[in-house]
Amino acid sequence: MKILLVNGPNLKALGTREPAIYGHETLDQIVSRVKAAAAATGVALDAVQSDIEGELVAVINAARGVYDGIVINPAAYTHTSVALRDAIAASGVTTVEVHLSNTHKREGFRHASLTAPVCVGQVMGFGGAGYLLALDGLLDVLKTK
């Protein structure tokens, strides 16, 4: 089983970026935790981060036939990107959306997700631990497929 972890714009700055909202964990620390959890269940996990919408679209398109599932934090593109939504839908790869913060407790423009309707599920509000929950949920869905 192969899983792709995709992180969108500004998530490289985790650790120093608005820690009251996103916590103190760095992206490297989160990725290491998710990789370790995946490895413990015999799952290979690759991770990619980009600030560029077109790069994220290309990565998702290229995942078709290579990865069994995707965990994605589309970050700000969650709320704006029809292109990312279309890429997830077109790839046909089972995808779970994750957010560190509970976006429903925040500004109104963060309440809508263009990408969630093409994902199998969404996890939010648990910081870095949410990535582990997203992986767990994704693997469970893939096992029963």
Q: Which residues have a catalytic role annotated?
A: 22, 99
CA 29 to CA 80: how far, in whole Å? Answer: 27
Tell me whether residue 65 or residue 107 sits nearer to ligand DQA (CB atom).
107
* Residue numbers 64-83 binding ligand DQA by CB under 6 A: 73, 75-76, 78
Asked if 100 interacts with ligand DQA (CB under 6 A), we say: yes
Interior/surface letters 19-47, b for 16+ CB within 10 angstroms, e for the rest: eeebbebbbeebbebbbebbeeeebebbb
Tell me whether residue 33 or residue 110 sits nearer to ligand DQA (CB atom).
110
Asked if 99 interacts with ligand DQA (CB under 6 A), we say: yes
Asked if 48 interacts with ligand DQA (CB under 6 A), we say: no
* Contact (CB, 8 A) for 115 and 97: yes
Q: Which of 1, 10, 15, 50 binds ligand DQA (CB under 6 A)?
A: 10
At 18, is the secondary structure helix, strand, or coil?
coil
The radius of gyration computed from the CA coordinates of the chain, to the nearest angstrom, equals 14
CA 53 to CA 81: how far, in whole Å? Answer: 8
Asked if 7 interacts with ligand DQA (CB under 6 A), we say: no
Contact stretch for ligand DQA (CB under 6 A) within 26-34, 38-46, 58-66, 100-108: 100-108
Asked if 101 interacts with ligand DQA (CB under 6 A), we say: yes
Residues that bind ligand DQA (CB under 6 A): 10, 73, 75-76, 78, 99-101, 103, 110
